[in-house]
Amino acid sequence: MSGAIVDWAVLIAQILLIAAMACCAYRLIRGPRAQDRVVALDALYVSGMLLLVAFGVRTGSQIYFEAALVIALLGFVSTAALAKFIMRGEVIE
């Protein structure tokens, strides 16, 4: 009973998160300008991170949490670097 509930919820959540990633990927490819692409990339990695957490609930193992943590950490750094690049044209001055 409760296994089925969690199963279905995780399935729905995964489908929704994959659809969210598809929307972000559309904006990442289509985006008229560079800043649109950076915002889309930011949203894309957050959705991917949440997908990993949902996958961790599905398999019942805690390994995926660490991958999600690494994505969250590195995503911030990469977005900050990209914003700097958009502003100045170089990352380290």
Partner 1 sequence: MSGAENLPVWAAILVAVFLVAGALLTFVGALGLVRFRTFYERIHLPTLGTSFGTLFILVASSLFFSVLEQRFVIHEILIGCFVIVTTPVTLILIARAALYRDRSEGTTGIPRFERDDGDEDGGTANR
Q: What minimum distance in Å lies between the beta carbon of 21 and partner 1?
A: 7
Q: What angle do CA 40, 29, 68 make, to 5 degrees?
A: 40
CB crowding 51-84: b at 16 or more within 10 Å, else e: bbbbbbebeeeeebeeebeebeeebeeebeebee
Q: What minimum distance in Å lies between the beta carbon of 86 and partner 1?
A: 4
Q: Does the protein bind partner 1 through residue 48 (CB under 8 A)?
A: no
**Looking at 2, 90, 92, 93, which residue binds partner 1 (CB under 8 A)?**
2
Pairwise CA distance, residues 86 & 91, whole Å: 9
Which residues are at the interface with partner 1 (CB under 8 A)?
1-3, 5-10, 12-14, 16-17, 19-24, 26-27, 33, 35-36, 38-40, 42-43, 46-47, 49-50, 53-54, 56-62, 65, 68-69, 72-73, 76, 79-80, 82-84, 86-87
